A and B are shown apart, each in its own frame.
Chain A
Amino acid sequence: MLIEVGHFALVLALIFSILLVVLPSIGLYQNKFSLAQLSKPLVWVQCFWIAVAFFVLMSAFLTNDFSVKYVADNSNTQLPILYKASAVWGAHEGSLLLWVFVLSLWSVAVSLFSKRIPSDLLNQILIVLGALSFGFLLFLLFTSNPFERLMLPPLDGRELNPLLQDFGLAVHPPMLYMGYVGLAVPFAFVVSALIRGQLDSTWLRWTRPWALISWAFLTVGITLGSWWAYYELGWGGWWFWDPVENASFMPWLVATALIHSLSVSEKRGAFKQWTVLLAIGGFSLSLLGTFLVRSGVLTSVHAFATDPTRGLFILIFLFIVIGGSLVLYSMRYNLLQKSNPFALFSRETGLLINNILLVTAMLSVLLGTLYPLILDSLNLGKISVGAPYFKAVFVPIMLPAVLALAIFPFVRWKKDNFSRISSLLRYDWIGIVLLTLLARVVLTDNIYVLIAIGLFIWVTVHIMVLFINRIREKSKFSLAFMGMIIAHLGIAVFVLGATVTTQLGIEKDIKMSINESQNIAGYDFIFNGVNRYERDNYSGFMGDINVYKAGKKIAQLSPEKRYYQSGMPMTEAAIDPSFTRDLYVALGEELAGGAWSVRVYYKPLVRWIWLGGLMIAIGALFAAIDRRYFLRVKS
């Protein structure tokens, strides 16, 4: 009966989402405050029932209730308890339930932490969020019911995809969804302002912290996904330009543009049109990602389903959300036209350049992602757009963006001149050139690495100068300023890590016999053989490799080759991590005479990629909790 309670709880949540749209709307338009204020309790009660449904499904996994089809398809008695819990979102139905749950949590957060937002605006925002959750709950209940029963419950369930039997599943999807779904909040702010026709200072002020928090979560989610792919997929890559990865990256790029655009709109009253379009675009791209993953148009490690009914539903929903918000935008266009003037060389221009570059980068990724799908759907042949395209297009677009992000924090609002900046920074620029030349002499002659080192020094030196200037002026360090510094430094760290590991990394596929030694990047890898072992839900082989540097043992690596009950083989890499490099070993196939094929990677600065991502997210959180958002309102 518990399963039916969970199912009914979802139905109740759907009904409350209808009430959430209807009752406060009546209250707002008929000036009945008692009805308008119901938006908050309606959000709470809706979230409560979604939480009940979510935990009922989790309990079905934990208690091996295989009468539930979703549980029987994705879990079995042998699965470790952590993976049983995370298997809740390991396939389409449960992950959609998580999506809806996260949306309801965001709605509750908005209702609780918005005491400085006028009631009418807040109620309107909650109405928009309620409409979105109505769409998703409808999708969940009518096409993707996670509580579907089996007439003949099996004695044991099938198996969770072995790739997902990992700690990464417990953290990556919830974080990513917090970001993805979080973009619904700035979207709801913008749509509410458009509905009310009040595109004033209030919505601009309060959209920014929510955009920053959701962007931080999206950054963490993408970073965790990259880290997970690196250690789990067994071939040492950290980004594959997989269409579904791109689907999460595109909203990130637009959200990055949004938080910058918001800062100009909020402080100087410019770019309001941009800001509105970016908020709509960010959430629309997150819906597009949902469509790509769940419609069956893609084949990917991330793809959940191949059900055209689901695809059609999301497509219609996407059309309503994008179409509806763009219609609103066009209706309120006259209110958005007013923009305060600024000179060609000003901080506003810098942020505009940042916006243009980020949106261009997003469009290039969108083109590379959708082009093969469009060709395929028109029966014009199958093509694959891979890493070479994305690297060739994306990197040149982002290069000037990294250059600009160091310079423009020095540029004044409204009007400035380049000669002032150049006289301020000319000695630093000479120093940067000299340091880069020194790197050419001392470190490497690889041109890409030198560019990355140059960019790293460029950003770091400018940030240091900015920092020192503030100390000299005895200015206060606001959290927003600190956040900006940390995030920009994170970009520099990421660029250096990504370039160095790609350019200077070493990868070798080798045959290793027992006691054989191989030298890679100055490290001696000695193969001691392979042992067979058994676990509850898989069996496998575990290699034993000792690593020596200059005759001193520095690591013992145990790469695994696992065979799960479904027979699917899985490679579990063994990694010796450090701040400056990773040693990464993956076990291949058994060869004749007790030898094994082994893949060995030397990955310099690979950890900097995720460190950079983490710094960007921390920077965003710093900016989101800046003092300006907590000042008391004087009436």
Chain B
Amino acid sequence: MILSWQFVLMIVLSSLFLAWFLYRPIKANLSDDDSNISINRQRQDELELDISQGLIEKAQYQEAEEEIIRTLASELNNNESKNITIKPLIWSMMIFLFVGVLSLSVYSQLAPKIIPNADNGINEPLSMTESINKLESYLIENPEDFQAWKMLGLAQVGTGNVEKSIESFEKAFLINPNDIDLLLQYASAIAANQDGKFYGKSKILIEKALSLDPQSIQVLYFSGIVAAHEGNLDGAIEFWEKALYLMSTDHPDRNIIEEALGTVLNLQVK
């Protein structure tokens, strides 16, 4: 958990704010009896207005007036209780301790274990190998963390350890088999181990991604590659043209797809 000065400041400020009101309590509003008396008095005035507007008959007016009096009589309590004073310092300290301990405990349960880009006292970014080691030790305690497995797989691809990355992606895949990004990364890692060819499991993964999101630009791009590898140039062209259609004109990946499309179109011409 991250315990930063900001959190401490937030707790202290809030506690001080409350302590202020323990030392200087807000003035009380009127009592129940005063309120009921004034409201029933107002009801009487409104009743008179009703009779002047013909909204109630004379006989009913008297009945209603008696009802108001009876209601007020039943509502009056006159049970003003004596105010018991408290020691503001003790209550202020208790509030501070309660807020501090409980908020930090709850937050420690909810907060992420690793925060991307968070300045938590580490000035130098971790090297790739250090990141992998950290992730591996984290995953021993949290083997069900899908994102961590995926991140580990990516880091392992980054260090050239494709075999290991396939294992990590497989672990992530077992936790969540419907994550498009994982399916593409996993398929790419398998393909990298097959001389860059998308067949077998890598092809199945791309097909699964396509069935999950047929409008995704990345999925369409990879589907085009699979089709091209199978010699289905028309299929590849269709996928990439669709991807280009869906892309904005200034999309950063547009050139890559245009280049791939150009290559396939040249092949077709030849």
Chain A interface residues (CB < 8 Å from chain B): 1, 4-5, 7-9, 11-12, 14-16, 18-19, 23, 30-35, 37-38, 40-42, 45, 49, 67, 78, 114-122, 141-142, 145, 148-154, 198, 200-202, 205, 267-269, 338, 340, 347, 412-416, 470, 473, 475, 534, 536-539, 563, 565-568, 628, 631, 633-635
Chain B interface residues (CB < 8 Å from chain A): 2, 4, 6-7, 10-11, 14, 17-18, 20-22, 25-26, 28-32, 34-36, 38-43, 46, 49-50, 52-57, 59-60, 63-64, 67, 71-72, 74-75, 77, 81-86, 88, 91, 95, 98-99, 102-103, 106-107, 110-112, 114-119, 147-148, 150-151, 154, 181, 214-217, 245-249
Chain A residues contacting B112 (CB-CB under 8 Å) are: 148-149
**B248 and A8: CB pair below 8 A?**
no
The residue of chain B having its C-beta at the shortest distance from the C-beta of A153 within the complex is B116
A537 to B32, CA, bound (A): 59
Tell me which of A5, A37, A152 contacts B150 (CB under 8 A): A152
**A200 and B29: CB pair below 8 A?**
no
Q: Shortest beta-carbon distance, A271 to chain B, in Å?
A: 14
Tell me which of B29, B75, B91, B118 contacts A119 (CB under 8 A): B29
**B57 and A141: CB pair below 8 A?**
no
Q: Shortest beta-carbon distance, A484 to chain B, in Å?
A: 13
**B107 and A117: CB pair below 8 A?**
no
15 of the cross-chain contacts (CB-CB < 8 Å) are A19-B98, A23-B95, A34-B22, A37-B26, A41-B26, A49-B10, A49-B14, A118-B35, A150-B116, A202-B39, A267-B43, A267-B46, A269-B67, A536-B248, A634-B38
The residue of chain A having its C-beta at the shortest distance from the C-beta of B214 within the complex is A567
**B83 and A33: CB pair below 8 A?**
yes
Chain B residues contacting A198 (CB-CB under 8 Å) are: 32, 75, 77
Chain A residues contacting B85 (CB-CB under 8 Å) are: 32, 34
Closest 3 CB pairs of A and B: A567-B215, A414-B60, A151-B147
Tell me which of B7, B52, B57, B91 contacts A8 (CB under 8 A): B7
**B29 and A32: CB pair below 8 A?**
no
Tell me which of B31, B60, B82 contacts A412 (CB under 8 A): B60
A7 to B118, CA, bound (A): 14
Q: Shortest beta-carbon distance, B126 to chain A, in Å?
A: 13
A28 to B55, CA, bound (A): 42
- Known contacts: A202-B35, A413-B55. The answer to whether A35 contacts B30 by CB under 8 A is no
**A41 and B17: CB pair below 8 A?**
yes
**A628 and B46: CB pair below 8 A?**
yes
Q: Shortest beta-carbon distance, B227 to chain A, in Å?
A: 19
A412 to B63, CA, bound (A): 14
- Known contacts: A41-B21, A470-B53, A628-B42. The answer to whether A122 contacts B29 by CB under 8 A is yes
A254 to B245, CA, bound (A): 50
**A473 and B54: CB pair below 8 A?**
yes
- Known contacts: A7-B111, A15-B103, A38-B22. The answer to whether A415 contacts B57 by CB under 8 A is yes
Tell me which of B20, B53, B75, B83 contacts A200 (CB under 8 A): B75
Chain A residues contacting B115 (CB-CB under 8 Å) are: 4, 149
**13 new A-B contacts at CB < 8 Å, known A11-B103, A153-B116, A154-B181:** A19-B98, A30-B84, A37-B28, A38-B18, A116-B35, A151-B114, A151-B150, A198-B32, A200-B75, A202-B36, A414-B60, A539-B248, A633-B30
Q: Shortest beta-carbon distance, B112 to chain A, in Å?
A: 5
**A635 and B30: CB pair below 8 A?**
yes
Q: Shortest beta-carbon distance, B43 to chain A, in Å?
A: 7
**B106 and A15: CB pair below 8 A?**
yes
The residue of chain B having its C-beta at the shortest distance from the C-beta of A536 within the complex is B248
**A1 and B248: CB pair below 8 A?**
no
**B25 and A34: CB pair below 8 A?**
yes
**A5 and B6: CB pair below 8 A?**
yes
Tell me which of B25, B103, B116, B216 contacts A149 (CB under 8 A): B116
A205 to B30, CA, bound (A): 15
Q: Shortest beta-carbon distance, A412 to chain B, in Å?
A: 5
Chain B residues contacting A151 (CB-CB under 8 Å) are: 114, 116, 147-148, 150-151
Q: Shortest beta-carbon distance, A135 to chain B, in Å?
A: 15
Chain B residues contacting A35 (CB-CB under 8 Å) are: 86, 91
Chain B residues contacting A567 (CB-CB under 8 Å) are: 214-216, 246
**B84 and A12: CB pair below 8 A?**
no
Chain A residues contacting B43 (CB-CB under 8 Å) are: 201, 267
- Known contacts: A32-B83, A153-B117, A267-B46. The answer to whether A5 contacts B32 by CB under 8 A is no
Chain A residues contacting B25 (CB-CB under 8 Å) are: 33-34, 37
A67 to B111, CA, bound (A): 14
**B40 and A67: CB pair below 8 A?**
no
**B106 and A14: CB pair below 8 A?**
yes
Chain A residues contacting B35 (CB-CB under 8 Å) are: 116-118, 201-202, 633
A412 to B75, CA, bound (A): 26
A1 to B4, CA, bound (A): 9
Q: Shortest beta-carbon distance, B238 to chain A, in Å?
A: 14
Chain A residues contacting B247 (CB-CB under 8 Å) are: 565
Q: Shortest beta-carbon distance, A36 to chain B, in Å?
A: 9
Q: Shortest beta-carbon distance, A49 to chain B, in Å?
A: 7
**B110 and A412: CB pair below 8 A?**
no
Chain B residues contacting A628 (CB-CB under 8 Å) are: 42, 46
Q: Shortest beta-carbon distance, A332 to chain B, in Å?
A: 15
- Known contacts: A78-B248, A412-B55. The answer to whether A12 contacts B99 by CB under 8 A is yes
Q: Shortest beta-carbon distance, A7 to chain B, in Å?
A: 7
A121 to B119, CA, bound (A): 47
Chain B residues contacting A267 (CB-CB under 8 Å) are: 43, 46
**B99 and A16: CB pair below 8 A?**
yes
**A118 and B64: CB pair below 8 A?**
no
The residue of chain A having its C-beta at the shortest distance from the C-beta of B115 within the complex is A149
- Known contacts: A11-B110, A149-B116, A153-B116. The answer to whether A568 contacts B30 by CB under 8 A is no
Q: Shortest beta-carbon distance, A20 to chain B, in Å?
A: 11
A499 to B95, CA, bound (A): 59
A117 to B95, CA, bound (A): 27
- Known contacts: A16-B14, A151-B147, A633-B35. The answer to whether A414 contacts B28 by CB under 8 A is no
- Known contacts: A38-B22, A473-B54. The answer to whether A141 contacts B83 by CB under 8 A is no
